[in-house]
Amino acid sequence: MPNRESSAAESKKQTCNPLAPLPPLGMDAEAISFDFRRYFAHTLGRDDHCTSSHYPYKALALAVRDRLIERWKRTRSTYENDDCKRTFYLSLEFLMGRTLSNAILNLDVSEEVNRAFIDLGINLDDIRGSEPDAGLGNGGLGRLAACFLDSCATLELPVRGYGLRYEYGMFRQHIANGYQIEDPDLWLRDGNPWELERPEYTQRIKFCGHTEHINGSVRWVDTQDVLAVPYDLPVPGYRNGTVNTLRLWKAAATDEFNLEEFNAGSYTEAVEAKNDAEHITMVLYPNDASENGKELRLRQQYFLASASIKDVIREWKENHGSFDDFADKNCFQLNDTHPSVSVAELMRQLMDEQGLSWDQAWMITGSTMAYTNHTLLPEALERWPVKLFECLLPRLLEIIYEINARFLSEVALRWPGDTDRLRRMSIIEEGQTSMVRMAYLAIVGSFSVNGVAALHTELLKQGLFHDFYEFWPQRFNNKTNGVTPRRWLAACNPGLRRLLDETVGNGWISDLPALEQLVTHAENVSFQRKWQQVKRENKQRLADLVKIDCNVGFDCDAMFDVQVKRIHEYKRQLLNILHVIHLYNRIKAGDTKNWTKRCVLIGGKAAPGYQMAKLIIKLVNSVARVVNNDYQVGDLLKVAFLPNYRVSAMEVIAPGSDLSEQISTAGKEASGTGNMKFMMNGAVTIGTLDGANIEILEEVGESNFILFGLTSEEVEAMRHHYMPNRIIDQDSDFKRVMQLLESGYFNQFEPGIFDPVIESIRNPYDPWMTAADFRSYIDAQEKAAKAYLDQRQWIRMSIVNSAKSGRFSTDRTIQEYNRDIWRLNQTSIPSVIEDVQ
């Protein structure tokens, strides 16, 4: 039995060991407050002269981060000890937004932090508001990746995200004279308290050079190498002790690369070379649903693929002697074709670096890769010139040729003599300039191919990928998108959250279908009154934002009619403006009996090179100026363009909206996720039968959804005899709208600027067929206006929309990915607190 002294010495020795476990950090208000003050005063060196809310933000972030890191380490060691199967989510985009509020919610310290800051006399909203958005994505695709990570951690699934640490995220948008101006987004300027640099896991990535084939083995030599340095971000689950990882790669120059140039006496060239290397992760390409084919973009894609796969193989080899069960323990989910060069890169690493045979490597690749398609738009389908591949990634091109040759011989066996089919299905598109079709590479190299809504998956199978569907029908599956209810309801709508908690309990936060119980309250007058009160407060918050950012006054009695999303012709912001002009015409004509007051809000970024999208922004602003300054209009109609639409703006917009505009040409919007955020927060959708709108309609029923427009089949059937000029002529409302637009009424000092917009509406080959849905849209808007006049009816619709949003949680989406594709075991992390008891 040890005596007192030696046991004290023992424990002293323990505390001197820097690697010995520390006692768990307090989760109470006092402990958090103390750490906050210590970080503020000691670590950041501030005192009461500090007026900016940046330092208080940083101090709180560090205090919260410590608590995340405790759980993060446990999560890592649990996964390692369990040797569990893992999924790696590869994406060029993660549109994370802000981290602080989400971390506080998921760590379950909201009340404690609130109390601490009331005692400190500091406004927590100011602190939250000073965090910059992590805007490492364009729109829906990048935000989906972020919502997926939240749900994976909440469902206790061992999933790691891999992406790029862009120095410049999505550009910031401001409006000058009605036009979009892009400003650089230097989001890392003041440091990022959420990231942890991991230089010990730096990888070396090859570019250019050439290959040498020496008796069966291949060497890729004379390459220009770039270092990939990982930065980890914590991804906490909702109140479960899990903290998963998002690993972002930053490009850095290799030392010897510089040295070589330096020794040759060319100091400036050495620095330039360093710049070239570091340019790879300099900027996010701001194109949504279109490819610009820049060489640097292919460099980014390969850089992500190669670094991530190397990282996975490094970790695998630390714990395993062979690759025999690699395929049983690993899965790569490719977020669109952007990371699809991974198929060839995994082959390369397994063969050239790990010594596996082609057949062994192909077995592993084809049973670990899974591909998600996000769009049917032909301009978004990635194809890279063979020439570019040859120069930049010569070894990868050889592997792609071999994959293609073996694949085509399989096709030829199944359909002998069908050379047209071989040409159609080839990964290499022959022509003036031969191209590598990245989507085909992804399909051939994957065991799963999924679309993101039921209609979208059907259209993939019947159209774009029909040949592949005939060959491998079992490979295709649907996974309808979702959004995380933590960020998009619990955190962004505290008023509604309280009402939901007191009505159905708080289980809905991790079990969204539980909201269905609300339906029984939809007709209850006192519940309706509370619901209306919450909505009104949220509308006031949104009105405040619109006042500050647009200098337009929104009246909370009016219907808030909102369309926020990337500006693209297929999303048809133009149709929305045509309706606004129609309402303006009615007001000018005195046709305002039983009028519903409306505040129309439109927001979104246009790709900097997309001229038509930029012109649509100018048109919105021009119409807004005329409408808002016409004394005859008064408060019957207000129009505003919200600049710099982003995640943190949507967190104010969705709770404050009445009507959600989801009006894409049917068959063009793969899923949409903005539609789900609005629905969850009790907005009613006016929408076409497109993407996930169809599934929203299925959930809420026709009486709670304002449906209009052609179906995707009708759109395709009408294309051949589409005559917009005749449609306009035969509709007096439409004619008046076009007359006003064509008269230059909205652009008095800039004659002719909207001619391209007018031509696109009148063009019989308009791919988006805006005119075809005009009448149906106007009638649906009138129906919405009438419904809004009956506030009891409207509130009932609003309640039903929230109540039926359960299916659109990413918790459901991720459960389906896991059930059908990943097959991971749920892995619980032991609690930090229990450990010491």
The residues that touch ligand PLP, with contacts defined as CB under 6 A, are: 139-140, 143, 565-566, 645-647, 650, 672-674, 677
* Cβ at position 125, least distance to ligand PLP in Å: 20
Cβ neighbours of 789 (radius 10 Å)? 13
Question: Which of residues 298 and 380 has its CB atom nearest to ligand PLP in the complex?
Answer: 380
Catalytic residue among 673, 688, 810, 813: 673
* Residue of minimal Cβ distance to ligand PLP: 674
**Reduced to 3 states, what is the DSSP secondary structure of residue 369?**
strand
Alpha carbon distance 346, 302 (integer Å)? 11
Alpha carbon distance 336, 141 (integer Å)? 8
Determine the Cα angle at 711 with ends 710 and 712, to 5°: 120
Question: Which of residues 459 and 647 has its CB atom nearest to ligand PLP in the complex?
Answer: 647
* Cβ at position 610, least distance to ligand PLP in Å: 15
Question: Which of residues 587 and 663 has its CB atom nearest to ligand PLP in the complex?
Answer: 663
* Cβ at position 138, least distance to ligand PLP in Å: 8
Annotation marks residue 374 as catalytic: yes
Question: Which of residues 230 and 655 has its CB atom nearest to ligand PLP in the complex?
Answer: 655
Alpha carbon distance 95, 109 (integer Å)? 24
Q: Please provide residue 268's backbone torsions phi and psi, each rounded to the nearest 5 degrees.
A: -65, -40
Please give the structure tokens belonging to residue 225.
């190498």
* Cβ at position 140, least distance to ligand PLP in Å: 4
The contacts of residue 280 (CB under 8 Å, 6+ apart) are 226, 251, 296, 299, 300, 303
Whether 639 contacts 623, CB under 8 Å: yes
Annotation marks residue 571 as catalytic: yes
Alpha carbon distance 481, 159 (integer Å)? 17
Kind and range of the H or E element at 74? helix 54-82
Q: Please provide residue 377's backbone torsions phi and psi, each rounded to the nearest 5 degrees.
A: -65, 125
* Cβ at position 629, least distance to ligand PLP in Å: 29
Question: Which of residues 668 and 736 has its CB atom nearest to ligand PLP in the complex?
Answer: 668
Cβ neighbours of 352 (radius 10 Å)? 17
The contacts of residue 374 (CB under 8 Å, 6+ apart) are 140, 141, 335, 336, 380, 452, 670
Q: How many helices (H) and strands (E) would you count in the chain?
A: 35, 25
Cβ neighbours of 359 (radius 10 Å)? 8
Question: Which of residues 693 and 712 has its CB atom nearest to ligand PLP in the complex?
Answer: 693
Question: Which of residues 349 and 480 has its CB atom nearest to ligand PLP in the complex?
Answer: 480
Alpha carbon distance 27, 67 (integer Å)? 8
Alpha carbon distance 306, 341 (integer Å)? 9
Question: Which of residues 348 and 646 has its CB atom nearest to ligand PLP in the complex?
Answer: 646
Catalytic residue among 71, 172, 374, 598: 374
* Cβ at position 540, least distance to ligand PLP in Å: 21
* Cβ at position 148, least distance to ligand PLP in Å: 13
Catalytic residue among 71, 486, 521, 565: 565
**Reduced to 3 states, what is the DSSP secondary structure of residue 435?**
strand
Question: Which of residues 140 and 806 has its CB atom nearest to ligand PLP in the complex?
Answer: 140
* Cβ at position 6, least distance to ligand PLP in Å: 60
Whether 679 contacts 685, CB under 8 Å: yes
Beta strands in 148-223 (DSSP E): 159-164, 172-176, 179-183, 196-197, 203-207, 210-214, 217-221
Annotation marks residue 530 as catalytic: no
* Cβ at position 650, least distance to ligand PLP in Å: 4
The contacts of residue 390 (CB under 8 Å, 6+ apart) are 397
Q: What is the CA radius of gyration of the chain?
A: 28
* Cβ at position 146, least distance to ligand PLP in Å: 9
Question: Which of residues 58 and 143 has its CB atom nearest to ligand PLP in the complex?
Answer: 143
Angle between helical axes of 791-803 and 525-550 (0-180°, round to 10): 90
Whether 184 contacts 172, CB under 8 Å: yes
The single-letter DSSP state of residue 89 is E
Whether 254 contacts 202, CB under 8 Å: no
* Cβ at position 664, least distance to ligand PLP in Å: 9
* Cβ at position 489, least distance to ligand PLP in Å: 13
Q: How far is CA 356 from the centre of its chain?
A: 36
Beta strands in 551-646 (DSSP E): 559-564, 598-603, 637-642
**Reduced to 3 states, what is the DSSP secondary structure of residue 525?**
helix
Catalytic residue among 74, 348, 487, 677: 677
Whether 236 contacts 243, CB under 8 Å: yes
Annotation marks residue 12 as catalytic: no
Catalytic residue among 58, 479, 497, 566: 566
Annotation marks residue 566 as catalytic: yes
Question: Which of residues 451 and 672 has its CB atom nearest to ligand PLP in the complex?
Answer: 672
User: Which residue intervals of 692-824 are DSSP H helices?
Assistant: 693-700, 712-718, 724-729, 732-742, 755-762, 774-789, 791-803, 810-817
The contacts of residue 592 (CB under 8 Å, 6+ apart) are 586, 636
Question: Which of residues 640 and 642 has its CB atom nearest to ligand PLP in the complex?
Answer: 642
Catalytic residues, by residue number, are 374, 565-566, 571, 673, 677
